[in-house]
Amino acid sequence: MTPAAPSVHHLVRLRAERPEAIAEAAARRKRRPLLRTPDTASDRARPPHSTARESPPHPGRLMIIAADHPARGALAVGDRARAMANRFELLQRLCLALSRPGVDGVLASADVLDDLLLLGALEDKVVMGSMNRGGLAGAAFELDDRFTGHRAEDLVRHGFDAGKLLLRIDHDDPGSLDTLHAAARAIDAMAAHRLPVFVEPFLCRRVDGHLRNDLDAAAVTTSIAIASGLAGSSAYTWLKVPVTEDPDDMAQVMETSTLPAVLLGGEVGDDPDGAYARWREALRLPTVRGLVVGRSLLYPVDGDVAGAVDTAVALLQPEKDG
């Protein structure tokens, strides 16, 4: 069933008249483990009077919908320059995506998560807060990426389940050092609260004034090595990594670290089948534990959000012999 469109009046009235409703919704939200396995399947999945546990749709894997782009001023999807600017359309698409079987949760900034809390869309979902939003898209200070989003204590207060930070490194930009230092301290803070933090590292450079992430195997390998060694403990650190330009390099790239990783979906453009095939191959690697995908699923070329999400979820299913 397709969720009803979020009510403009409902959200605006609550925000204006009862701002405390957000904290109340967070306090009563039903939580779940980060990873579901046959041993941690929820009790509600069991038939009445049954003692058997029902296996989760993709045991030990994660399927997360990303919607943290607008807080950086990154509103474009394909050739639509302001596709993500309509908040109510974005929320409708998010509610639909989160309602699909096998979707574990969402990654977003505080304003989007607050809206989803008020809409009741985060029950029994993994909620991942976006932590550094200061490096605005296209800004001269883009690589001095201050932590202007969720702090570790905010995630704890709201009962959220994980955080995510972006770590872009340009050897020619001094702002990268400040970001590295801030990222290390944020990882320390998350580890102190025993909260997972997903680190999304890139080596990048400016081309004609625009920042470009380097996706060749050597660059991705180096970025993973740097991110894995940050902070005083890696116990709660996950990696969020792109699929390399040549997917045949992914196996060697992912040997750089023993940290668990999820794949960054990115935009698939006009070749979703090719992107899905690359994701499927990378998901076979031992450290890869899931997918975090945003615009490609929320704004697919054919407009079928449910179909795009279901296709991505199917990639996480274990392959059958024969």
Per-residue confidence (pLDDT) for residue 46, from 0 to 100: 44
Q: Which residue in 242, 157, 237 sits closest to 203, CA to CA? A: 242
**pLDDT tier, 319 (very low <50, low <70, confident <90, very high otherwise):** low
pLDDT at residue 48, as a whole number? 43
Phi-psi label, residue 16: left if phi above 0, alpha if psi -120 to 50, beta otherwise: alpha
Cα 116 from Cα 119, distance rounded (Å):
5
Max CA distance (Å), the chain: 65
- In terms of DSSP bridges, do strands 261-264 and 162-169 run parallel, antiparallel, or are they unpaired? unpaired
Which band of pLDDT confidence, cut at 50, 70 and 90, is reported for residue 248?
Answer: confident
pLDDT at 247: 74
Mean pLDDT value across residues 25-45: 79
**What is the dotted CATH code of the domain comprising 63-315?**
3.20.20.70
Residue 86 reports pLDDT greater than 60: yes
Here the tokens at position 15 are 């925000």
Q: Locate 136 and state its tokens.
A: 């605005």
Per DSSP bridges, beta strands 210-213 and 197-207 are: antiparallel
Instruction: Report the pLDDT value the prediction gives residue 175, as an integer from 0 to 100.
Output: 86
Here the tokens at position 111 are: 């304003």
- Average of per-residue pLDDT across 256-267: 92
- 274: left (phi > 0), else alpha (psi -120 to 50), else beta? alpha
Instruction: Say what percent of the chain tops pLDDT 70.
Output: 91
Tokens of 32: 């779940």
pLDDT digits 0-9 by tens, 296-317: 999 998 899 999 999 999 999 8
- Determine which of 62-66, 68-72, 229-233, 268-272 has the lowest per-residue pLDDT on average: 268-272
Question: Which amino acid belongs to residue 104?
Answer: D
pLDDT at 102 over 90: yes
pLDDT at 52: 42
- The pLDDT tens digits of the residues spanning 125-174 come to 999 999 999 999 889 999 999 999 999 999 999 999 999 999 999 999 98
Whether the per-residue pLDDT at 40 is higher than 70: the answer is no
Mean of pLDDT over the chain? 89
Q: What is the pLDDT of residue 9?
A: 82
Question: Is residue 217 pLDDT above 90, yes or no?
Answer: yes
Least confident range from 117-121, 196-200, 230-234, 299-303: namely: 299-303
Give pTM, 2 decimals. Answer: 0.91
**What is the arithmetic mean of pLDDT over 210-232?**
95
